[in-house]
Structure 1
Amino acid sequence: MIPSHTKGIICCLLATVSWGAMFPIMTDALAHLDPFNFTTLRYGIAGLAFALLLFCMEGSKGFHLKGERWGLAWLFGTFGFAGFGFLVFLGQHLAGPSGALTASIMMATMPMLGLLSIWALKKKRPAASTFGFILLSFFGVLLVITHGSTADILNKPVNIIANLLLIAGALCWVLYTIGGSYFPGWSPIRYTTLTTLLGMISVLAIDIVLMLTGMISVPHSASVTAVIPHLLYMALVAGMMAVLCWNVGNMIITPTNGVLFMDIVPVTAFFISAMNGIVPSQLQIVGACITATALILNNLNQRKQAKILMIEN
């Protein structure tokens, strides 16, 4: 019998290792299929799998939206699946061979982006010290995406666009995650399933418009066949399995501890990319370490503040 705390750690590790591996996998997938059609197929598969799971766990009543805030659920689903899926993988595609490394580091900034988003949405201002950690975190990101040369990124507009897309995509996932707090009566599987299905409305609409306007081409059967292994991994492992493990793990060890595992994402991506011949530069490794340090220090700082509040109360 695995102890509860150990189970929580294993679940968080499985989730973050799965997410770290998805970026190098997408490097190969994007050589065959554009980010938009890939995202549509990926979340289509994941949506069906989640729907089946919700039906088995909660029955048909889990899909009832009468009297529910379905419009808000659609908005958060659009952020999480159309926003994250399209923007992050388009940014990775534009960034070229090193895009997997850059994208994975962006994911490690999500806790910091979350603090800023909660401040904006719920008027919960972070402590003054937190802003220092936020700046330190983004300094690390800056080293990763610029390789230490700010002039280089300014002279290459494509790099600027790619990095802005990655940041916007990371922010979309943060907003989607925060969205769960607006549905306290929904189980994690219900929130995930319904937002996936509602978000697919936006995913399909955007994909169809892009194909009709000629901005992307209708995928060939050969291209789809070539990315079937990638789709299965992205939909069922990095999608369904990882999300469920993440939710279970955080319920056991709490989000305060769970968020530290986000450092595993870039570590996994760096390791797999290096095995494929794309070795991060020394400055990229330094930048990743700075971002990880900022995340850990902020986590410790939050715990200290929480203890002070408990003593005062």
Structure 2
Amino acid sequence: MRSRHAAFPLFAVLSWGVMFPVLASALTRVDALNLTTARYVLATAILLALLLAREGLAALRAGGRPVEVVALGVLGFAGFNVLTNLALGHAAPQQIALFAATTPLVTQLVRWVRDGVRPRPVLLGFSLLALVGVGLVITRGRLDGLGQFGAGGLLMIGAVLGWAVYTHGASRFTGWSPLRYTTLTAVAGTAAMLAASLAADLAGWQHLPAAADLVAVAPQLAYAVIVAAVLAVLAWNTGVQRLGAADAALFMNLVPVTTFVVQTVRGYRPGAVELVGAALTIAALVAANLVTRSRAATTRAAAPVPVAVTDRPAVVDPIAVVAR
């Protein structure tokens, strides 16, 4: 059963691994914020149509949690996507993908802060090792390359933190369908992106794309909207609900692998230090994930078996049944 559920986050991360090179090519014609806004205006329109068709007008209500929905939408959609697109202007797609792969570890830290689930010291050690690997890829092992870590790295740290909070938040909406959670948070995030984009255009910090520019990036935009935004995010939130935030986040390790493969096919030839750094990052993240999974398995095995109560009728929680 879990292997079948794993198909959802697997599809999402493979889609995102391809997305980084796709978006990088589009940024040569359209500014990062305008590109992100155009992408999610279209994606949110599709999501709204799907939600209305499947669940009706009632699903548009925030269910007494409007502040949480808006905050998660701004962090997850606006925060992650805008910061990632801006970071692509300062670093190569494969470097950005390695930062995205630290999401599982950052999610563990978010759980620690929000739920009091403290990560083991070995996980923190692996996180530092993963960052060393990222540093090797970005600097290519040269001290004079540390400057390249600056803007792009800082932007991606913020992006990953926003996505980790969003991923953790999805696990707290068990009474909602993945489509409803995705759509309502997308509406909030897109509204924030639209406001920021209009302000930036009016201030002259960027330029409203011409029709010719949008036509030129139409193939990239189509992939980014339909595959990477609508289908992938729906699949991701479905995986989070069925596997849990921590287990679903493990699949982010495949993002840099996918991006490196795409870049290699396109003609990029990584140096030896970059390969060592990428291997170090991925190995550290995989090791951390294995530690997390083994600890979870041990905890489940050690859990006491509940004693049946026979003198009163069983009570079935309908929400729990639907969540399963």
TM surpasses 0.5: yes
Structure 2 counterpart of 1:19, from 5, 12, 16? 16
Partner amino acid for 1:266?
A: P
Residue 46 of structure 1 corresponds to 43
How far does residue 130 in structure 1 lie from its aligned partner after superposition? 1.5
Q: Percent identity?
A: 36
How many aligned positions are there? 303
Cα separation, 2, equivalents of 1:203 and 1:210:
10
CA contact 1:15–1:238 (8 Å) conserved in 2: yes
Residue 115 to residue 252, structure 1, CA distance change in 2 (3 Å): closer
Q: Say yes or no: does 1:197 pair with 2:187.
A: yes
Residue 33 of structure 1 corresponds to 30
Residue 61 of structure 1 corresponds to 58
Residue 254 to residue 213, structure 1, CA distance change in 2 (3 Å): closer
How far does residue 104 in structure 1 lie from its aligned partner after superposition? 0.8
SS at match of 2:88: helix
Q: Say yes or no: does 1:89 pair with 2:80.
A: no
How far does residue 290 in structure 1 lie from its aligned partner after superposition? 1.5
Structure 2 counterpart of 1:100, from 61, 72, 93? 93
TM-score using structure 1 length:
0.90
Residue 38 to residue 181, structure 1, CA distance change in 2 (3 Å): same
Report the RMSD for the aligned CA atoms in angstroms. 2.0
Further displaced range: 273-282 or 41-50: 273-282
How far does residue 79 in structure 1 lie from its aligned partner after superposition? 0.8
Gaps in structure 1 of 5+ consecutive residues: none
1:193-232 matches, within 5 Å, as 193-232=183-222
How far does residue 283 in structure 1 lie from its aligned partner after superposition? 1.8
Which has the higher Rg, Structure 1 or Structure 2?
2
Cα separation, 2, equivalents of 1:255 and 1:200:
23
CA contact 1:8–1:250 (8 Å) conserved in 2: no
Q: Say yes or no: does 1:137 pair with 2:137.
A: no
Partner amino acid for 2:82?
A: F
How far does residue 103 in structure 1 lie from its aligned partner after superposition? 0.8
How far does residue 270 in structure 1 lie from its aligned partner after superposition? 0.8
Residue 268 of structure 1 corresponds to 258
Q: Deviations over 1:169-223 (max 9, x none)?
A: 1111111111223433222111110000011121111101101111011111111
How far does residue 249 in structure 1 lie from its aligned partner after superposition? 4.3
CA contact 1:7–1:249 (8 Å) conserved in 2: no
Partner amino acid for 1:103?
A: I
Higher relative helix content: 1
Cα separation, 2, equivalents of 1:18 and 1:245:
10
Cα separation, 1, equivalents of 2:188 and 2:240:
25
Gaps in structure 2 of 5+ consecutive residues: 305-324
CA contact 1:270–1:279 (8 Å) conserved in 2: no
How far does residue 291 in structure 1 lie from its aligned partner after superposition? 1.7
Q: Say yes or no: does 1:146 pair with 2:136.
A: no
Structure 2 counterpart of 1:109, from 80, 96, 102? 102
Residue 57 to residue 239, structure 1, CA distance change in 2 (3 Å): same
Cα separation, 1, equivalents of 2:270 and 2:244:
32
Cα separation, 1, equivalents of 2:113 and 2:285:
20
How far does residue 9 in structure 1 lie from its aligned partner after superposition? 4.2
Q: Deviations over 1:18-70 (max 9, x none)?
A: 111001111210111011000001011110111111112211110023x5211
CA contact 1:92–1:166 (8 Å) conserved in 2: no
Residue 275 to residue 184, structure 1, CA distance change in 2 (3 Å): same
How far does residue 78 in structure 1 lie from its aligned partner after superposition? 0.6
Residue 238 of structure 1 corresponds to 228
Partner amino acid for 1:115?
A: Q
How far does residue 110 in structure 1 lie from its aligned partner after superposition? 0.4
* Structure 1 outlier segments of 4+, above 6 Å: none
TM-score using structure 2 length:
0.87
CA contact 1:256–1:299 (8 Å) conserved in 2: no
Residue 92 to residue 258, structure 1, CA distance change in 2 (3 Å): same
Cα separation, 2, equivalents of 1:181 and 1:9:
15
Partner amino acid for 1:129?
A: V
Further displaced range: 116-125 or 16-25: 116-125
